[in-house]
């Protein structure tokens, strides 16, 4: 069995698989370690598939713009149908408070060059005719955002990685990163030891454990969000509809019609449900159904097919931790995607590939500066145990 690799990635999810692909394409010998039986079985398959660049943080904007570029050209470039659809995103406002928040944000987003605009009530209803017009004030609309299938995309990254020579070991648990002279030298798993100068931690909700093996305290704590999918009906809804109003025991919620005709929906519980418990609770469906039929009355006729819970690997400030660990050369953070791993994944993969190729652009440097693990002075990230 091959024991020496240029780089070992921990996790074959939304971050690990595109990163493996781009690294393998750049000619590196890549090993991906996955404790689950196949790619994307952690949080990737729990993602609902929304992809947007319309964030407020320039680092995320930059990464997601790269992701959109990759997702939107995937089929023509690689041949697989990953169910990419450029339906746009719409944050709707029913109260002056949300209208103000969204309009303030809009200024920043437009400043970063994003294609996003404010639509009046009537203009919004033209885009999304089935929205409840009562009390609707208007909303943002960003036509270049879209969606794809996290499952198909992850498997496409995986299969093409294999084509470029990446190795994937499933059902294998990374247990300890091994150091030599203070830098990464290898990794020990429950099945063997591999030599490598670089380890990328893309273990998502489980990133903390492996970082701990070298005394790094990665401040990633998972919380869980519940999502669901409906039966398939004829196309009636294009953009992702996001309602940021708080509701009972919940913050925002959002839904869109996937290109398969199914409506996929998700809610942010408030307060957050911490931990890795992914068992389905009885509260979610009545809670989100009440809010969905209020925003779009015709959804009352739509049948829910399945629900599930997925984990958001959260960081204290809600932004990912990406980049080289200064105290441990060879350790690369790709952690804490805060529930946006799927849309960030290809962008992150490209960035890390340029990092290892020493081909970082000026924009990359800025992104890495914003998302760098040291960004909180005295923070836990850089703390090293004896």
Residues near another protein, by CB under 8 A: 37-41, 45, 130, 132-133, 151-152, 154-155, 170, 230-236, 261, 277, 279-283, 285-286, 289-290, 292-294, 297-308
The residue among 124 and 214 lying less far from another protein, judged by its C-beta, is: 124
254 within 8 A of 243, measured Cβ to Cβ: yes
The residue among 292 and 356 lying less far from another protein, judged by its C-beta, is: 292
Q: Residue 240: exposed, middle, or buried by beta-carbon count in 10 A (0-12, 13-18, 19+)?
A: buried
The residue among 260 and 357 lying less far from another protein, judged by its C-beta, is: 260
CB of 302 to another protein, least distance (A): 5
* Angle subtended at Cα 93 by Cα 120 and Cα 86, rounded to the nearest 5 degrees: 75
Could you identify the residue written with the tokens 């319309």? 54
CB of 310 to another protein, least distance (A): 11
CB of 170 to another protein, least distance (A): 8
CB of 163 to another protein, least distance (A): 13
Those residues whose C-beta lies under 8 Å from the C-beta of residue 266, and which sit 6 or more positions away, are 48, 225, 226, 227, 228, 253, 254, 255, 288
Phi, psi for 97 (deg, rounded to 5) = -60, -50
CA 360 to chain centre: 22
The residue among 125 and 272 lying less far from another protein, judged by its C-beta, is: 125
CB of 228 to another protein, least distance (A): 9
The residue among 111 and 279 lying less far from another protein, judged by its C-beta, is: 279
CB of 291 to another protein, least distance (A): 8
Measured CA to CA in angstroms, residue 41 lies from 154, 176, 270, 356 at distances of 10, 22, 26, 27
Distance CA 295, CA 136 (A): 9
Distance CA 50, CA 89 (A): 9
Q: For helices 16-25 and 150-163, what crossing angle results, to 10°?
A: 30
The residue among 222 and 323 lying less far from another protein, judged by its C-beta, is: 222
The residue among 74 and 331 lying less far from another protein, judged by its C-beta, is: 74
The residue among 16 and 39 lying less far from another protein, judged by its C-beta, is: 39
Those residues whose C-beta lies under 8 Å from the C-beta of residue 88, and which sit 6 or more positions away, are 127, 141, 142, 143, 144, 145, 146, 238, 239, 240
């Amino acid at each position: 069995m091959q024991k020496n690799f240029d780089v070992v990635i921990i996790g074959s999810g939304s971050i690990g698989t595109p990163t493996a692909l781009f690294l393998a394409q750049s000619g590196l010998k890549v090993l991906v370690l996955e404790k689950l039986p196949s790619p994307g079985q952690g949080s990737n398959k729990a993602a609902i598939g929304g992809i947007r660049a319309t964030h407020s943080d320039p680092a995320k904007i930059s990464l997601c713009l790269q992701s959109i570029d990759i997702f939107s050209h995937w089929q023509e470039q690689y041949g697989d149908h990953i169910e990419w659809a450029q339906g746009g995103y719409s944050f709707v406002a029913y109260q002056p408070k949300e209208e103000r928040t969204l309009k303030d944000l809009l200024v920043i987003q437009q400043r970063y060059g994003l294609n996003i605009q404010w639509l009046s009530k009537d203009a919004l209803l033209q885009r999304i005719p089935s929205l409840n017009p009562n009390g609707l004030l208007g909303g943002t609309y960003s036509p270049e955002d879209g969606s794809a299938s996290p499952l198909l995309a992850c498997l496409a990254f995986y299969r093409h990685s294999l084509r470029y020579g990446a190795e994937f070991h499933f059902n294998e648990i990374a247990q300890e990163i091994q150091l030599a002279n203070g830098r990464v030298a290898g990794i020990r798993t429950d099945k063997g030891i591999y030599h490598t100068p670089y380890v990328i931690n893309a273990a998502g909700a489980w990133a903390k454990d492996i970082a701990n093996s070298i005394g790094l305290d990665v401040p990633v704590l998972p919380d869980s969000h519940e999502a669901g999918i409906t039966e398939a009906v004829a196309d009636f809804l294009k953009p992702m509809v996001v309602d940021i109003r708080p509701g009972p025991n919940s913050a925002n919620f959002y839904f869109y019609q996937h290109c398969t005709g199914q409506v996929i929906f998700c809610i942010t519980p408030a307060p957050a449900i911490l931990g890795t418990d992914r068992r389905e609770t009885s509260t979610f469906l009545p809670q989100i159904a009440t809010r969905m039929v209020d925003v779009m009355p015709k959804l009352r006729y739509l049948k829910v097919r399945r629900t599930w819970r997925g984990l958001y690997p959260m960081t204290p400030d809600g932004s990912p931790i990406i980049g080289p660990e200064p105290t441990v050369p060879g350790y690369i953070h790709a952690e804490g995607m805060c529930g946006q791993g799927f849309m960030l994944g290809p962008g992150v993969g490209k960035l890390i590939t340029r990092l290892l190729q020493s081909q970082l652009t000026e924009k990359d440097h800025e992104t890495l500066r914003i998302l760098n693990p040291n960004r909180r002075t005295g923070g836990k990230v850089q703390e090293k145990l004896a």
